[in-house]
């Protein structure tokens, strides 16, 4: 039997051009290799990256390759395993995040920090795969991926809720762990209360931190304090409220992608404090004095490593940390993306692939 005959047809939703409009699309997945697993997708989270890539807004990453099937917060059930894929078996619950391959040989891959691979990663969608084809993401019925890039989802953890952990969750968990923000008693600031921000609050509370949310919207106050359990809420445009927080925080996670000033936030850090940027504003501009006067740092962080992603999933299962999601059918995805642009979601859309894409 030839490879072409063995390739399996997959149904997805794709954008055909920079309008970003998604509609049904049929394509073929590659043959399951010896180290691969084939995963029946049950759910896929909706990330703002899906908007950016479908509308070709990230040319610096090589440009969008159409037809483009987005989605990199993928969860599902293993339906086939390759002969050398010893880590998984048919029926296992698994998740796939933002990448599906890397060199697996450089210093970063050897540390299981493949997201920083020296030779570049193969992204879950709109990237050139090992067989020369263009990767297609999780807005589809199944995916074939090297076992290294799968995370095991505990059976007790609802698959629909696990999806946002694969990007939003690990994106905030990774820098918190790297900067030792899992030590009770420390103080955390969270800028923005969206898909990433609300999970940063949940992790912070689980770690025993004092958590303050910063937002430009007063409507987020009740959600932050009463629903998510934050210890404080500050309107970032209110100079008096900001001044009252001066030198009070050990660490700030900045999830905001809109342009905003940085000096006011740097003033909130204690001596030696750090602000980590996980959002993507168009520029970062601040006074050198903001860093020098308090031995402060500003850093960036991507989605995190493979091993720590598994650690995070297990931590969420053990501590019953669940993202707040709105589950939608695939047929609603274009409306959902428009709502996401407007910030009209609490706090992550998750597509019910299994029951709506057939």
Domain architecture of the chain: domains with CATH? 8-167+310-352 (3.90.180.10), 169-300 (3.40.50.720)
pLDDT at residue number 131: 80
pLDDT for residue 3: 44
Instruction: Write out pLDDT tens, residues 136-158.
Output: 999 999 999 999 999 999 999 99
- Give the distance from CA 299 to its chain's centroid: 18
What local confidence, expressed as pLDDT, does residue 1 receive? Answer: 37
What are 279's two structure tokens?
A: 């959002």
**For residues 203 and 342, is the Cβ–Cβ distance under 8 A?**
no
According to the model, what pLDDT value does residue 2 have? Answer: 41
Which residues, including other chains, have CB under 8 Å from residue 348's CB and lie 6 or more apart?
45, 46, 163, 164, 168, 195, 323, 324, 325, 326
**pLDDT score for 312:** 98
DSSP string, 184-240: TT-EEEEE--SHHHHHHHHHHHHTT-EEEEEES-TTHHHIIIIIS--SEEEETT-HH
Q: Give residue 60's pLDDT.
A: 55
Give the chain's residues under pLDDT 50: 1-5
pTM tops 0.85: yes
Residues 6+ apart with CB under 8 A from 318: none
């Amino acid at each position: 039997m030839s490879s072409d005959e063995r390739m399996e047809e997959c149904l997805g939703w794709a954008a055909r051009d920079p309008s970003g409009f998604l509609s049904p699309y049929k394509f073929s997945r590659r043959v399951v290799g010896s180290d691969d697993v084939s995963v029946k997708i049950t759910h896929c989270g909706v990330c703002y990256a899906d908007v950016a890539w479908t509308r070709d807004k990230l040319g610096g990453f090589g440009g969008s390759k159409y037809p483009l099937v987005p989605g990199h917060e993928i969860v599902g059930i293993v339906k086939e395993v390759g002969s050398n894929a010893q880590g998984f078996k048919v029926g296992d619950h698994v998740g796939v995040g933002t990448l599906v391959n890397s060199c697996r040989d450089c210093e970063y891959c050897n540390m299981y920090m493949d997201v920083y691979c020296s030779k570049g990663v193969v992204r879950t969608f709109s990237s050139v795969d090992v067989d020369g084809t263009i990767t297609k993401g999780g807005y589809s019925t199944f995916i074939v991926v090297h076992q290294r890039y799968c995370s095991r989802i505990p059976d007790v953890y609802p698959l629909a809720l696990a999806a946002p952990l694969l990007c939003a969750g690990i994106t905030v968990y990774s820098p918190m762990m790297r900067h030792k923000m899992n030590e009770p008693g420390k103080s955390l600031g969270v800028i923005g209360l969206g898909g990433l921000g609300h999970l940063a609050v949940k992790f912070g509370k689980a770690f025993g931190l004092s958590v303050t949310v910063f937002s430009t919207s007063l409507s987020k106050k009740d959600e932050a304090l009463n629903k998510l359990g934050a210890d404080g809420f500050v309107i970032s445009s209110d100079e008096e409220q900001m001044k009252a927080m001066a030198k009070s925080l050990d660490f700030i996670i900045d999830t905001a992608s809109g342009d905003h000033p940085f000096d006011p936030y740097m003033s909130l850090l204690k001596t030696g404090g750090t602000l980590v940027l996980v959002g993507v504003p168009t520029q970062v501009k601040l006074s050198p004095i903001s860093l020098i006067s308090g031995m402060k740092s500003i850093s960036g962080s991507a989605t995190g490593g493979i091993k720590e992603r598994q650690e995070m999933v297990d931590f969420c299962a053990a501590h019953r940390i669940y993202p707040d999601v709105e589950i939608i059918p695939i047929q609603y995805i274009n409306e959902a993306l428009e709502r996401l642009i407007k910030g009209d979601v609490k706090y992550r859309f998750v597509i019910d692939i299994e029951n709506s894409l057939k």
